[in-house]
Structure formats: structure tokens, C-alpha cells
Amino acid sequence: MTVNAVFWGFFGTAMLMVFHSEADHRLPALKNLSYTWVDPFTLNLSWSWDRPKHLPNCTIKYEIRYLDKSVKQPARTPNHHYKASFLTESNEGKFSIHAVAEFCAGWIESKPENIFISTQKPIVNVVKDFKCSIGSSQTNCSWEPVSPSAGLNISYRISGIGENNSLKMCNQSYSCGKRNGCVLENHGPENDIYVLAENAAGLQTFKARRVILLPKLTIRENESYLYLEWTPPDIGKNCQLNYVVCYSECERDKGCPKYTSVLNTPEPLKIAYDKNCRYEFKFNATPDKYCPPIHCDGIAVEVYGNNTRVKLSDGRLTVVAIVIPLILSVGVILSCYCFRRHRAILCPTMPDPSTIFKEMMNGNKEQKTKSESLYTPVPEPVEPVTITPVN
């Protein structure tokens, strides 16, 4: 036997021992995985597990992994059951559970077991664009039904898993165009709203998107400036909104200044003001990172001032600029026409004053006939007259 052979024989035995010991020390898998629905958003997962006889005195916990679109942290429990939150919008209908030994050298976690979940009704899209406006005294939720003909029920619960959180019916209290809505009972802005939407075809569960209405803009005029201020919404102590205001002055685009109202010391947004101009402000807002997870709904428009410079595009000025010259020119044309037809009456041929003067100077008293058309005398030869001044 060579040294090499001895070494390899020893090494191989050692490796076998390692593998053998590792295989011995894997915790057994969970058995009898099952679930019940506590409510439409909550599952009670349960299982059984046989403790190996030779397992030392160490703590065994069960780790539940959410196989989710949302990357949720795994949860651990020493019990043989676990209340897991489940929303059709994020859960793929699958959990994986395995046993882990805490502070137990030499023992490794069990192989995971999967459990597949099916909802009590098929998962369908019942509503779309579901949003709840918060911040006022009431929470006002609205949605668009996916298939308007199918009657649907909306129920909700405030916050996820809790002992004292019954499911409440959201009675349809209004319908506004394509959207339907209802008013929820009052609750704090920091709470999530879990919604169950059901129709004859199936159900859908999700967390409601929470929105706040854009705060009202007040515009104050002082000297040659406009001061823009927003009433701060009541959505949490440190929460503030970032505004973007796009505005025009006399219909000319003036860009989009950004504005953040500093908490407790509201400093208005200052804009140079031309008294002859109409201002149009369009704004929206985004909550900062200290706000609860909300959105601001829509874009608001506010106008201030009047365009007072004379402009042709103005309605009344158009009348002045087009209609009056038109009437005037029609009048002129008509009067020219009348003038031509009745020229004899309106304008009898006037004798040339210079001729009269000449006649007077000549002493020629010959009467001119009024109607020259009847008789035109042959012009007499007239001798040139020379006037000699008398000395």
C-alpha cells in the first residue's frame, strides 16, 4: 500500500462521513399542508411536522415564503399555523414553507413544501381604476366597473390583518358618468384600505390606491407681483407636497416653476404681474417621501386678471374691425350708384366761376341759356382783349 492510496482511502471515508452526517441532520419536511380562508384577504395556513427523536433541545421554527409579485419578507412562526395576507392583485396563489432549526449546530433546514391556493370564486377583473380620496372628513372611493352589466359588490376592510377588523359593505351611494362610488366610514390617513370586488363571474382583492384632491390655490396681488399659495392638506405631520405650476401670461407660455411649501413657514410663490394680462395657472402636486403612500389626483387650473390690451382676436373688436368698414364701403358704393343715376338732380351743372368772372370783366351781358342741349350757338369769333392800365 502506497502513502497515496492510504491518503485517498482516508479522504474518501472522511467525505462519506461528512455527506452521511449532513443527510442525517436535515430536518424532515412538513406534512399535511392545508389552508382555510379567515376572510377574503387572510389565509390560515396549517401543517404538521414530526420532530426527529434524536434532535437536540433546540428551537424549531417554520418559515413561510410568499411567492409573490411583491417581494415580501419571509415570516417565521413556532406554531403549526400562520395567518398570511393574500391579495389577488399580488399573490400568485402559492406559498412555500420549511422548518428551520435556530441555534442548532449540525442541523439544516428542511426541504420546502409548496402549498397552492385557490380563491372561493375565480379571479377576474371586476373593477378598474379604483381610488379613494382621503384627507377630508370622509373617504370617498370610486371605480369603473369592467363589465357594467354584471351587478357587483364592493366590500372593504381598513388595514390588513387585525383582530378587530370586520369586513364592511361599501354600499353604492353614487354613480357619476362611467364611474361608481361610495363613501367609507372614517379612518386615519395612515391606514390601508383592503378591497374585495365581486361580481357573478368572480372576485378580485387589492389594496385601494389612495389619492388626495389637489389643494386649493389662492392668488394674492401686491404691487407688481402675484403671490400663489396653497392650503396645506391634512395628511400627516411631516408630509408636504411638491408643486409644479405651468403658467401663461397674455396667452404666452411662461414655463413651469417648481414650488415646495416649507412646513410651518409657508412662503408663497412670487410671480411678476402685468396688470394688462390674463394669467392661467395649471398645477399638480406630488407628495414627498414623508407622506403616507398617496397620490394627488388630476391637474387643476386657476386664472387671474384680464387681457386689457386692444387685440383683434377679441370678439367685440372683430365686430368693430370688420363689420363697420364693411357697412361703410357698402354705403359708399350705394351712394356712388345713386349719384350716377341722379347726377342731374343732385349735382346740377354749375357754371364755371372763372367764366362768370371773365364775363363780368368783359362786360358781356349775354344771357346763357339754361338748357344748352336745345340750342348750341355757333361760337362767335372773339378778338383778343388787351387791357391797358390807366395812368
Ligand X SMILES: *[C@@H]1O[C@H](CO)[C@@H](O)[C@H](O)[C@H]1NC(C)=O
Residues that bind ligand X in the complex, under the rule CB under 6 A? 31-32, 38, 44, 46, 48, 57, 81, 83, 138, 140, 151, 153, 164, 169, 171, 174, 176, 181, 183, 198-200, 222-223, 305-306
Cell output for 178: 362611467
Shortest gap between Cβ of 279 and ligand X (angstroms)? 9
Give the span between the Cα atoms of 282 and 267, in whole angstroms: 19
Give the span between the Cα atoms of 300 and 247, in whole angstroms: 12
Residue tagged 415570516 (cell numbers): 75
Shortest gap between Cβ of 121 and ligand X (angstroms)? 8
Give the span between the Cα atoms of 259 and 267, in whole angstroms: 10
Shortest gap between Cβ of 304 and ligand X (angstroms)? 6
Helix (H) or strand (E) holding 193: strand 193-199
**Which residue, 120 or 386, has its beta carbon nearer to ligand X?**
120
Q: Which residues contact 370 (CB under 8 A, 6 or more apart)?
A: none
**Which residue, 140 or 242, has its beta carbon nearer to ligand X?**
140
**Which residue, 119 or 242, has its beta carbon nearer to ligand X?**
119
**Which DSSP string corresponds to 271-326?**
EE--TT--EEEEEEEEE-TTS-S-EEES-EEEEE----S--TTSHHHHIIIIIHHH
**Which residue, 138 or 260, has its beta carbon nearer to ligand X?**
138
**Which residue, 48 or 335, has its beta carbon nearer to ligand X?**
48
**Which residue, 270 or 358, has its beta carbon nearer to ligand X?**
270
Give the span between the Cα atoms of 271 and 225, in whole angstroms: 5
The dihedrals phi and psi of 207, each to the nearest 5 degrees, come to: -90, 130
Shortest gap between Cβ of 12 and ligand X (angstroms)? 36
The dihedrals phi and psi of 360, each to the nearest 5 degrees, come to: -60, -45
Shortest gap between Cβ of 249 and ligand X (angstroms)? 13
Cell output for 294: 398617496
Shortest gap between Cβ of 231 and ligand X (angstroms)? 17
Shortest gap between Cβ of 200 and ligand X (angstroms)? 5
Alpha-carbon 313 to chain mean position: 32
**Which residue, 152 or 285, has its beta carbon nearer to ligand X?**
152
Shortest gap between Cβ of 83 and ligand X (angstroms)? 6
Shortest gap between Cβ of 240 and ligand X (angstroms)? 24
**Which residue, 274 or 359, has its beta carbon nearer to ligand X?**
274
**Which residue, 31 or 216, has its beta carbon nearer to ligand X?**
31
**Which residue, 171 or 260, has its beta carbon nearer to ligand X?**
171
Shortest gap between Cβ of 202 and ligand X (angstroms)? 9
Give the span between the Cα atoms of 286 and 348, in whole angstroms: 84
Terminal-to-terminal C-alpha distance of the chain: 177
How many other CB atoms are found less than 10 A from the CB of residue 43?
19
- 367 burial (CB, 10 Å; 0-12 / 13-18 / 19+) is exposed
The dihedrals phi and psi of 340, each to the nearest 5 degrees, come to: -65, -40
Residue tagged 403658467 (cell numbers): 247
